Chain A
Amino acid sequence: MHHNRPETRIHIPQSPTRPGDKPDFSHIKIPPVEAGRRPAIDTPAHEMDDLAFGLVRVLDDQHQACGEWKPHIAAQKLRDGLRYMLQVRLFDDHMFRLQRQGSLTFYLKCAGEEAVAVAAAQALRSGDMLFPTYRQQGLLVARGLPMVDMMCECLSNTHDMNKGRQLPVLYSWAEGGFFTISGNLGTQVPQAVGWAMAAAYKNNDDIAATWIGDGSTAEGDFHYALTFASVYKAPVIINVVNNQWAISTFQAVAGGENSTFASRGHGFGIPGLRVDGNDFLAVYAATQWAAERARAQAGPTVIELYTYRAEGHSTSDDPSKYRPSHDYDAWPLGDPVERLKQHLIGLGEWSEAQHESLIEKIRSDVSAAYAEAEQYGTLDKGPRLSLSTMFEDVYKDMPDHLQKQLKQAQEG
């Protein structure tokens, strides 16, 4: 052994596979759909501890909905969900290519995680406030933000909702109840708890839902949020999207090896559901259950969405440097789009032909939206926001020192 590369008594978690290895997910135990129990929402938290270690599932291996968690959901709503997920995926593909061609500075896809956001948005009410992190673009699509608006944000152009101040994908949409995304991780979780406490303070039954990645649960903010949510029984859903990877570090580095992320709330008396995040119906059912609990003043819920980040973290990293290639093909919980599609086909509510023509339609919509977005400017071409927007909104009204600096900037 090299004298400066010791084996020590510190336990360093390791990913079970790395580049060059065959993908291996044999450590993941998938209980049968029928094994999942759906307790009444007023069940005491400690009597539901098992749910944080199981896996809420609805779709079985034949893509049929079964078990206690099977939600009542109309075929049209399922078709909408499929359409939203497809739209997110094709939108992501298009924007990723544009970044590679040099039209965008940055992009970040949510491939494989579309159900996590879309199904949750469909299970919540429009007055419920969403505090997402950066991989829930499905919330925007499901709540109806036009693609062109999303593109304008990514281009920092004259129609950008953020007025050119944020990286691509850090959207904000007040009208759609979608909180401005931070670039710092975990900060949105205590904010969601505070928003929910304010709803309770105002005696209305709107709730807040927030999303955080498995890696970021290590941030203090997550633990502050659990404390406050527990102490004040805030009507909030805290979603942990366990996509197994925080850029290059496997979820064990965030503590996923020793317990589930769903169980993080147990010490605070907050129940946790561990959910198959690639099962659209399971995400829908779990969100609905947690939302009912929150609205009934029964308290917060932690939901771990067990899923897989099908591609790299963003356009800035190369996943082949830290994990096996084609790993997503081996992911034992399948693909959310494909599974909902097969479920609808099995119900006689969808067909391959309809699916193909929907893809064509969305592709053409995405292209048309981008053609429109470009007209409002890009980073280096076309119309551009006025330099004064750089100095606006730092404060509600521009103070003297910023007015002087604006003048200096304008004089060049």
Chain B
Amino acid sequence: MAAMSMVQALNNAMDLALEKSPRTLIMGEDVGFFGGVFRCTEGLQQKYGAHRVIDTPIAEGGIVGVAIGMGVNGLRPIVEIQFADYFYPAMDQIVSELARLRYRSGGEFWAPLTIRMPCGGGIYGGQTHSQSPEALFAHVCGLKTVIPSTPYDAKGLLLASIDDDNPLIFLEPKRIYNGVFDGDRDKAATGWDQHPAGEVPENYYTLPIGKANIVRQGNDTTLITYGTMVHVAAAAVEKAGLDVEIIDIRTIVPLDIDTLTGSVQKTGRCVILHEATRTSGFGAEISAQIQEQCFWHLQAPIERVTGWDTPYPHLFEWDYFPGQSRVIQALQRVLEAG
């Protein structure tokens, strides 16, 4: 075991993946010589060569289109999109091609890509460096979408993603790349070495895709979340002193709905927390499924705590960001209802 930040854990996972198979390669903007703008691929080109950790032109649609062709020809590309906000030029290649190759060809062709992209805000990135686009991917059948919340999960889930024969979107909450951020902007992020999930085995391991993680056991309310918000949720529950069950879904699609409904049937109350905008955010889907399957157990309306339906603002970042106080208020409303 070693103390690792999320960046180090991701780097370690890709190192092991490149070591394991010569058919695996990394491509993206600035990923090679420089090691990536967030340093996730640092040292890998030096270790494996420029043919395996490839610096690409600034053309996300081209990067994904080319990687699909490589995948069809037996390679297993790990694609880095520098910010999730930049993936839109690749939308057609992801939606119409990558996600549907296997289906449309009757199972003859597929491309096992893992597309990594840092997401989320809280870094003063403004509206083009802060987005959380998971709901857009969730709506595309044929994709799996994963979002880890700790270094331990990041490594195990990334290795599982690279191994998966389905195309995968791997969202990395960049606010917690280098430390735990609990939503309190006045407090410095604490190092991952202070967090139990910052202890990461150095050997190869995978975590199952499609399996949620009950982060904190509780009886009075279920709080469903993912990514950076897992830590905001934990801090809010701690601060309010409530008996809340916190679940990190870890995989957007396929969703581990059974773990969620099991918890809500026990607690009878549910709050869903995410950073992305509200309308048609992934919380809407979770809420719909919980309502369908747990209606007769619910003692209060399901609440959503989310980013507002605006672009991610520069000036009002902390009014947009769904921080601890909004989480606590929602928990209290749900607990007091019914």
Which residues of B, 148-174, contact A by the 8 Å Cβ criterion? 165-166
Q: Is the CB of A227 within 8 A of B57?
A: yes
**In the complex, B106 has a CB within 8 A of chain A:** yes
Bound Cα distance A198, B74 (Å)? 8
Q: Which of A187, A202, A395 contacts B92 (CB 8 A)?
A: A187
Q: Is the CB of A399 within 8 A of B254?
A: yes
Q: Which of B75, B106, B144 contacts A160 (CB 8 A)?
A: B106
Known: A180-B108, A180-B109, A184-B96. A195 touches B73 (CB 8 A): yes
**In the complex, B310 has a CB within 8 A of chain A:** no
Known: A184-B96, A221-B61, A224-B61. A194 touches B104 (CB 8 A): no
Residues of A within 8 Å of B69, CB to CB, are 131, 190-198, 208
Bound Cα distance A231, B56 (Å)? 9
Q: Is the CB of A198 within 8 A of B102?
A: no
**In the complex, B234 has a CB within 8 A of chain A:** no
**In the complex, B67 has a CB within 8 A of chain A:** yes
**In the complex, A174 has a CB within 8 A of chain B:** yes
Which residues of A, 161-198, contact B by the 8 Å Cβ criterion? 161-163, 165-166, 170, 172-174, 179-180, 182-184, 187, 189-198
Known: A195-B69, A199-B73, A399-B210. A187 touches B97 (CB 8 A): yes
Q: Is the CB of A220 within 8 A of B89?
A: yes
Please classify how large the interface on chain B is, using the bins under 10, 10 to 19, 20 to 34, 35 or more. Answer: 35 or more
Residues of B within 8 Å of A189, CB to CB, are 65
Which residues of B, 92-109, contact A by the 8 Å Cβ criterion? 92-93, 96-97, 101-109
Q: Is the CB of A401 within 8 A of B255?
A: yes
Q: How far is the CB of A46 from chain B (nearest CB, A)?
A: 21
Residues of B within 8 Å of A162, CB to CB, are 104-106
Q: Which of A166, A193, A393 contacts B107 (CB 8 A)?
A: A393
Known: A190-B65, A191-B68, A197-B66. A180 touches B104 (CB 8 A): yes
Most chain A CB neighbours (cut-off 10 Å) among B56, B72, B75, B258: B72
**In the complex, B62 has a CB within 8 A of chain A:** yes
Chain A 103-129 interface 0/1 with B at a Cβ cutoff of 8 Å (1 = within)? 000000000000000000000000001
**In the complex, A291 has a CB within 8 A of chain B:** no
**In the complex, A350 has a CB within 8 A of chain B:** no
**In the complex, B207 has a CB within 8 A of chain A:** no
Bound Cα distance A131, B69 (Å)? 10
Most chain B CB neighbours (cut-off 10 Å) among A129, A189, A195, A400: A195
Bound Cα distance A129, B74 (Å)? 13
Bound Cα distance A162, B102 (Å)? 9
Q: Which of A161, A193, A228 contacts B106 (CB 8 A)?
A: A161
Q: Which of B51, B103, B210, B258 contacts A201 (CB 8 A)?
A: B51
Bound Cα distance A379, B247 (Å)? 47
Residues of B within 8 Å of A227, CB to CB, are 57, 59, 62
Which residues of B, 243-285, contact A by the 8 Å Cβ criterion? 254-255, 257-258
Known: A179-B109, A190-B62. A197 touches B70 (CB 8 A): yes
**In the complex, A394 has a CB within 8 A of chain B:** yes
Residues of A within 8 Å of B144, CB to CB, are 395
Q: Is the CB of A190 within 8 A of B92?
A: no
Q: How far is the CB of A240 from chain B (nearest CB, A)?
A: 17
Residues of A within 8 Å of B176, CB to CB, are none
Q: Is the CB of B57 within 8 A of A228?
A: yes
Give me the 8 closest cross-chain CB pairs, A-B, nearest first.
A194-B69, A190-B65, A224-B62, A194-B66, A198-B73, A180-B105, A195-B69, A191-B69
